[in-house]
Amino acid sequence: MMWGGMRRTLRRLRLERGASATAPILVRKSAAPPEAMLLARAGLVLLLMAAVFTVFLLDRSGLQDNIDGNVSVIDVLYFTMITITTVGYGDIVPVSDQARLIDAFFVTPVRIFVWFIFLGTAYQFIIQRFIEELRMTRLQRELQGHVVLCGFGHSGSIAAAELLLRGWEPGEIVVIDADAKEVQRAADRGFVGLHGDASSEELLKVAAVDRADSVIVSVGRDDTTVLIVLTIREIAKPVRIVACVGEQENVKLVRASGADVIVSPPRFGGYLMADAVESSAAVEFVAEALTFRGGFQLHERDPSAEEIGRAARDLRGSLIVEVRRGGRRIGTWTDPALAIEPGDRLLVIDSDETLRAMA
Task: Among 101, 118, 137, give the residue marking a domain's end.
Answer: 137
Question: What is the three-class DSSP state of 241?
Answer: strand
How many CB atoms neighbour CB 268 within 10 A? 12
Residues 148 and 243 in one domain: yes
User: 75: left (phi > 0), else alpha (psi -120 to 50), else beta?
Assistant: alpha
Question: What is the three-class DSSP state of 192?
Answer: strand
Looking at the predicted structure, is the pLDDT value of residue 124 above 70?
no
Residues 177 and 127 in one domain: no
User: Per DSSP, what are the bridge partners of residue 177?
Assistant: 195
H or E stretch at 201: helix 201-206
Selection from 283, 265, 230 nearest residue 159 by Cα: 265
Residues 235 and 210 in one domain: yes
Residues 258 and 299 in one domain: no
DSSP for residue 95: -
Q: How much is the pLDDT for 141?
A: 81
> Is residue 280 a part of any domain in this protein?
no
Task: Among 263, 281, 315, give the residue marking a domain's end.
Answer: 263
Residues 109 and 169 in one domain: no
Instruction: Kindly report, residue by residue over 253-286, the tens digit of the pLDDT.
Output: 999 999 999 998 888 888 888 988 888 788 888 8
Burial of 52 (0-12, 13-18, 19+ CB in 10 A): buried
Residues 344 and 327 in one domain: yes
Looking at the predicted structure, is the pLDDT value of residue 100 above 60?
yes
Residues 122 and 177 in one domain: no
Q: What is the overall mean pLDDT for the chain? A: 84
Please report, for the chain, how many H helices and E strands are present, in that order. 14, 13
Where residue 325 sits, what CATH number does that domain have? Answer: 3.30.70.1450
> Is residue 320 a part of any domain in this protein?
yes
Residues 95 and 151 in one domain: no
For the chain, state the CA radius of gyration.
31
Residues 352 and 303 in one domain: yes
Domain extent for 61: 34-137
> Is residue 191 a part of any domain in this protein?
yes
Looking at the predicted structure, is the pLDDT value of residue 194 above 60?
yes
**How large is the average pLDDT for residues 195-199?**
92
Looking at the predicted structure, is the pLDDT value of residue 235 above 80?
yes
Contact (CB, 8 A) for 269 and 262: no
- Say how far apart CA 214 and CA 242 lie, in whole Å: 8
Q: Report the predicted TM-score, pTM, of the whole model to 2 decimal places.
A: 0.66
34-58 and 73-84 helices, crossing angle to 10°: 130
